[in-house]
Amino acid sequence: MSGSLLLTINLLAILSLGVIFNVAHSLRYDLQSGTSKCISEEIKSNAMSVGKYTVISPNEGFPLPDTHRVTVRVNSPHGNNYHFGDQVEAGNFAFTAAESGDYTACFWTPDHKVPVTVTIEFDWRTGVAAKDWSTVAKKGQVETMELELKKLYDTVTSIHDEMFYLREREEEMQHLNRSTNSKMATLSFISLVVCLSVAGLQFWHLKTFFERKKLL
């Protein structure tokens, strides 16, 4: 295989993986005691998702205080529970999405008489980004180029599935728009009929009133 072909394949792999790996969210944020914070991620059905969270110790090198523990819950769009941790300092979860939609990971901290700030480091990955490529390379005993090709193949497959998923969402939105437009047209027609009916009744009432008063 020529050097230029190898370079082309590597560039394609890097560019494609850059498109897909943007579904990996790694962040650190502060949470005040007695408050909660939820993070949502749109995941399509049958997609793999993994997450890892850790409470950062306020005093590096010392054990984590009991006040710096959180309750964690991961729910599906329909409210199904995929992970729950009660008063923990770290944890992880992994699941395959059974339905498409926004999945939420919520963190709570208990209220304390003396307010504290809890710092949480959270890493959430879906799709190709959720796969452990080091394990794949170790188990398969593949060379570097073969591993890159495997990454590229999975990336292209993920892009293909994502395109079909977006197309389905677009069709759903178009159907919703047509249905909404149809309902609005029906409502407008009914409103017009009601307005004309009320105007006719008012005209009839006024005509009757004036005839009674012999003004007409």
The pLDDT of residue 209: 79
Q: Coil, strand, or helix at residue 110?
A: coil
CA gap 208, 104 in Å, rounded: 65
CA gap 112, 117 in Å, rounded: 11
Average pLDDT over residues 132-140: 51
Average pLDDT over residues 149-165: 77
Average pLDDT over residues 19-30: 62
Q: pLDDT tens, 25-47? A: 578 888 888 899 999 988 888 88
pLDDT mean across residues, the chain? 79
The pLDDT of residue 85: 92
Structure confidence at residue 169 as a pLDDT band (50, 70, 90): confident
How is 111-180 classified by DSSP, letter by letter?
--SS--EEEEEEEEEEGGGGS-HHHHHHHHT--HHHHHHHHHHHHHHHHHHHHHHHHHHHHHHHHHHHHH
Average pLDDT over residues 96-122: 89
Q: pLDDT tens, 57-67? A: 888 778 788 88
Quick check: 72 pLDDT over 90? yes
This prediction has a pTM of 0.57
Structure confidence at residue 130 as a pLDDT band (50, 70, 90): low
The pLDDT of residue 127: 76
CA gap 8, 151 in Å, rounded: 15
**pLDDT: which is higher, 153 or 56:** 56
Structure confidence at residue 24 as a pLDDT band (50, 70, 90): low
CA gap 103, 134 in Å, rounded: 27
The pLDDT of residue 110: 87
Task: Evaluate whether 17 touches 151 at the Cβ level (below 8 Å).
Answer: yes
